[in-house]
Structure formats: structure tokens, C-alpha cells
Amino acid sequence: MSIDDTTIPAEAFRPEARNPRGFADKRASTLRAERAILEAVSKVYETWGFEALDTGAFEYADALGKFLPDSDRPNEGVFALTDDDEQWMALRYDLTAPLARFAAQNWETLPKPFRRYAFGPVWRNEKPGPGRYREFIQCDADTVGSARPEADAEMIALAVAGLEAAGVAPGQAVVKINNRKLLNGLLATAGVTDNGQKLGVLRAVDKLDRLGPDGVRLLLGEGRKDESGAFTKGAGLNAKGAEAVLAFVAAGASGRGDTLANIANVIGGSAEGDEGLEELAKIDAALKGLGVAEDRAMFDPAIVRGLEYYTGPVFEAELLMDTTDEAGNPVRFGSVGGGGRYDDLVARFTGQSVPATGFSFGVSRLAAALRAAGRLKDSEARGPVVVIAFDQAHMGEYFAVVGELRAAGIAAEVYLGSSGMRPQMKYADRRNSPAAVIIGGDELAAGTVTIKDLDMGRKLAAGIADNAAWKAERPGQMNVPRAEMLASVRAIVDASR
């Protein structure tokens, strides 16, 4: 077969058209919703004095080492490959590890503290599921180089402002705050010093929402067998230690001050616990100064965050709004963002501790939640004004019209398929176009254009059952002089916004 032969043999391999699990195709309405969130949140970040930064999609795998227990094949949790110099590199798991690498690499030339924000896709080699993707968009803000609790408070206030800018009204989300030092102090008092055992406690507490106190009690002790019969080894605390942890996570109250008082009664006055309480008290004072109400940001001892590198305050943004799936069934989205203090991450590269804190929005997840809450019904992407192509001989005139519309900032296109008038109108309708411009022989001779207001036509068509009546009433159609075309189309487009 020659290279120019376009005949496909019957036995030729035909791959199945499918996308990999956990990787979503996104059409214009979804992209527009995510872009709107990114623009709104990024504007808040910039207003608060954060500098934009973009790092590459790939990092060397050792820069993401906290996710990579297998040194021979470092792709656990990430998508990794070897470069031509046989070094492992991986698609970034989040936007924080690349920041730590960038800060370590450029620390001498950076303003300190270094305040940056970033957004873009991240990739996780995890089992996909409902609402859980292997590729999704994050939008982060971080401060590197400040150990002050007020820097953490600013991140929390920034999260509250970002949620509101993204379209989450007051009362429909809350940022929950805790401090890792509190639980560390409690465990130290209970005689727990092994880091592996501490991590087991954190992982058990992180499952409180899903398993409840009884399930967490088992995971704090010897372990738990789930419905399938699979056994999860527990943290190995004795009964007294497990009850102390459960009392700690239940110490939340309606006010930040009351919660601090409850925690102080539980943790037993350990040095690290007292340090955590003092940090939360300073965060509370800063939040009050920033005008963040207690129903927008609250202390919750049950928040631990899943990542291992947090060293102090941690926070999580949780949606409270009612959401439903396509079938109308209730759906709980829960967390749409989180962050905390990670004072040891830059030190992985330099050996010197550099304090840092940050917050990250899961943009894809937040957009999905807003859609499930009915907040994105009006975000359907509008198509362009479509100029109907009647005759090949007049294509120059059609392009002159579309050029005039585009120059005026109106999205427009000439239909470039091979179909007739009716399919072209159907095309414009499927594109959700606000209007169609029609220039046939009669219009050319008279120096006019016919404009169909497709939005008006859709509204009127819903009330017209008889086709004859439809033709007689000609809803939303007008014939105007060519010189008035732009103003008439603009009026339709403006009315559709």
C-alpha cells in the first residue's frame, strides 16, 4: 500500500474510542466554570499581595519523595518516567512540592517572606471514583519564610474570601482549623513517641466523618475489619489513650474561644500542646482583626489533614450547601480545599528549616459542587453569532459581516459546512448561538440583512404548538438595513448576557 492510498483495509486495527479512567473530557461550559473560579480566586490572591508563579508539570521524583516509598520504581501515587539521563521524573502531585523546590533553588534572590500563588493541573496515580479524578485543577497561595501564626490566619481569611469570590455565599461553607501540635502534645502525655504510631492516630482521626467514633476507636486500638472482611491494622493505643484522643476530637464548640478552653482541659498541659494553643489564640485574634466571623472559620480538633508534611496549624474548607446529582439524589462534597503549615518541606532540599504555610482550592471539585448545587445553570457556554452561508459566490460578503462583528468584540463565525439553510439554523441552535445573520439574494439586492434572535425564538417556540402559527408569527426575526446590522446584533447579544 502506498503512503497516498487512503483506503483502510477491513482488517485494520481500530482502537476503541475511550478516555482513561480518572481523566475527564471537558466541554466549554465546564471549562468556563473552572476559568471563572480561577479568575475570581486569583484576583483575590493578587489583591492580597501574592505574586503569580508557574512551575513545570514535571518534577524530579526525589522532589516528591514523600509520596514515593519504592525507590526502585518511584511511581506510587504519581505518574513517573525516566528521563534520557535515567533520572526519574514525575508529573506534579500538587503545587506545594514544586514551590518548595523553587524556593530552595532561588532562595537567595527571593523577597522574604515569599508570597506566591499558582494554579494549574495536578496528577495523582490513585484509584478514580465518583468526584475523584487522576487529573484536576488546583489554585494555591503560600507564604514561605514567615513563622508567625498571623501568616496562617491570613491563609484562612484568604480561603474565606476566595470561596465567596468563587460564588459560595456566607453560611454555605466553613473553614475548619486545628493544630497538629495539640494532638502531638496529647500523645506525648500518653507516652506515644513513635512517629509511625502518631501517623496511625492521625489516619484514624481523619476517618471520623466516615466511620464515626466507634470505628475510629477500633482504628486507634488494635484495628478494624470492614464490611468486606478486610482488616486495617490500628494505631495500637491502649483504651485510655484511645478515649483521650476521642475526647480531644470532640472538644469543638460553637465559638473559637470556647473550643480553645475545651481543648486546654483535655490535652493536659503538655509543652507542645500549650504551644499549639498559643498559636491558635494568635490566629483567632488575627481573624477577628481581619473581620472573619466565627461561623466562617472555626476551630475543630477533628481536622488533621491527610498529608504527612504538616507541622502546625491545619485547615480545611468544607461546603455546607445542599447538592444533588443528576438524578436528584443528595450528594455530599465535603472538603473543596485545605492547607496548613509545613515548616520542614524546604528543608528537604537545603537542610535548613524554612517556615511556610499555604492553602489550596480544588477548582475542579468546587466547580462540580457549584454545579450540583444549581449555581452553574446559567454558565452554559454561549455560542457565536452564526452568519448563514447561502451561496459560495457571496462568501466575501459573509466574511465581511463576520469581520465587522468580531472587530466589535462579538463572537461570530461563518458557517463552513456543506449543509443547506435548515441544517445551518439547527447548527446555530446546537451551538447555543444568540443570533443568526441571513444574507440571501433578496437581502443583497435590497442592501439589508435578516437577523434571527434565536433566544427570543426559543422562548416563543415553547408557546407555539402549531407549525403554521410559527411561520406566521416569525418569532424573533427582523430585517434591517445593512448599516444597522451591528447595532441590532449587539442589542440581541447584550440582552442574552
Q: What is the pLDDT of residues 249-300, one digit of tens each?
A: 888 888 999 999 999 988 877 889 999 999 999 999 999 999 999 999 999 9
11 to each of 7, 8, 14, how far by Cα in Å? 12, 8, 9
d(CA 355, CA 112): 11
Q: Say which range, 117-121, 234-238, 395-399, has the weakest mean pLDDT.
A: 234-238
Q: Is the pLDDT of residue 397 over 70?
A: yes
Per-residue b or e along 355-383, where b marks 16 or more CB atoms closer than 10 Å to that residue's CB: bbbbbbbbbbbbbbbbbbbebbeebeebb
Q: Which long-range contacts (CB under 8 A, 24 or more apart) does 19-22 make?
A: 20/134, 21/128, 21/134, 22/126, 22/128, 22/132, 22/133, 22/134, 22/135
Which is nearest to 454 in space by CA: 479, 484, 474, 468? 474
Residue position matching grid coordinates 505574586: 51
Question: Distance (Å, rounded) from C-alpha 490 to C-alpha 423?
Answer: 24
Can you list the domains of the chain with their CATH numbers?
28-377 (3.30.930.10), 383-496 (3.40.50.800)
pLDDT in tens, 103-152: 999 999 999 999 999 999 999 888 887 667 899 999 999 999 999 999 99
Nearest alpha-carbon partner for 475 in 490, 449, 492, 457: 457
| pLDDT tens for each residue of 36-60 | 999 999 999 999 999 999 999 999 9
The cell for 490 is: 449587539
Cβ–Cβ < 8 Å for 197, 211: no
Task: State pTM to two decimals.
Answer: 0.81
User: 130 preceded by cis ω (within 30°)?
Assistant: no
What share of residues in the chain are helix, strand, coil (percent, to 5)? 45, 20, 40
